[in-house]
Amino acid sequence: MDRLIVRADASTEIGTGHVMRCLALAQRWQDAGGQVTFVMGSISPALQLRLEAEGMSIIHLPPCRLEEDDARQTAE
């Protein structure tokens, strides 16, 4: 099975629910034999520990202001 790339951000203020919903989908992907990588511009320390405990790899993106830059960095 292929690798699933999940692009999501979460800080202590916003985005945690979105990342947790993505995690549920990622767990199903892993259960089916796939590998998962989260690509994130921001993540809380607690969420990072949770994703790592679930066997997810994480790529950290540098902060960017433009959507085009974010899309380019994610694609790279």
Q: Starting from the edge strand earliest in sequence, which strands make up the sheet with 3-7, in order?
A: 3-7, 35-40, 57-60
Where do the H-state alpha helices sit in 1-76? 16-31, 45-53, 67-75
Residue 5 has pLDDT above 70, yes or no: yes
CA separation for the pair 39, 57 (Å, rounded): 9
Task: State pLDDT tens for residues 11-70.
Answer: 777 788 899 999 999 999 999 999 999 999 889 899 999 999 999 999 998 877 667 777
Structure pTM?
A: 0.85
The reported pLDDT for the residue numbered 1 is 67
Residue type, 29: W
The reported pLDDT for the residue numbered 11 is 77
